[in-house]
Amino acid sequence: MDIKSINDFISFSRLKEDNKDYDIKSFLDTVKDLMGKLPNKDLLDFIYKYGFAYFNVEMVVAPMEKHGHSKDFIVGPILGFGNTPISIEKNIRMFYSEDQIGMKFFPICEGASGDLIIYSLEQKSFGKVYYWSHDSAIGNDTSLIGESFNDFINRIKVKQEEKDNKEIIKVKYSSRLLKLINAKRIKDGLPPLE
């Protein structure tokens, strides 16, 4: 999916309007002081435009490396500039520490409950996008999901319903067993089997 296609799948929450007076420049100065650098302009422009949006359908992204938990990760609401539960500021304050997310990062989206999708601000991995799993062991809690922000966006897709390939098996009961089963069903107020 490209960035323009996202418009077909999102809606905005009231939070965008509620945070319209938020001092973004001051916040970005704070991020630069704390992390040493800011994300590239394409990500910042994306947050300006789509911050506080959520997907109308379940969206996923596949990890670029084999991951034990799942073949796909959930892409949740897009974080925005503000000071609310789904804001970039709140997530940096909450998770930037050695016992949470030990790398320098800029949060983009929520993942599954308690997880985040983050943009690396580290020198060696700058611009790569990772899925951070809050319940994984520290040091083994991030999975690469994009070589760049645009790569991450292009890898997002609508979650496909899993087909139920279970075969229906017909069971034939002996007349004696069927009589016992039906007696129990009638006693329980259920109709008899045929």
pLDDT band at 181 (very low <50, low <70, confident <90, very high): confident
Mean per-residue pLDDT, 23-43: 96
In a domain, 90, yes or no: yes
Distance CA 10, CA 51 (A): 11
CA atoms within 13 A of residue 173's CA, in its CB half-sphere: 11
In a domain, 168, yes or no: no
In a domain, 85, yes or no: yes
pLDDT band at 67 (very low <50, low <70, confident <90, very high): low
In a domain, 75, yes or no: yes
In a domain, 192, yes or no: no
Query: Which residue type, as a one-letter code, is found at position 137?
Result: A
In a domain, 186, yes or no: no
Q: Which of 5, 14, 98 is nearest to 53 (CA)?
A: 14
Q: The domain that contains 19 carries what CATH number?
A: 3.40.1580
In a domain, 58, yes or no: yes
Range of the domain at 21: 3-158
In a domain, 194, yes or no: no
pLDDT per residue over 136-161, tens digit each? 888 888 999 999 999 999 999 999 87
Q: How many domains, the chain?
A: 1
User: What is the per-residue pLDDT for 184?
Assistant: 86
Q: Phi/psi of residue 10, each to 5°? A: -120, 160
CB 145 within 8 A of CB 62: yes
Distance CA 58, CA 16 (A): 21
18, two tokens: 């509620």
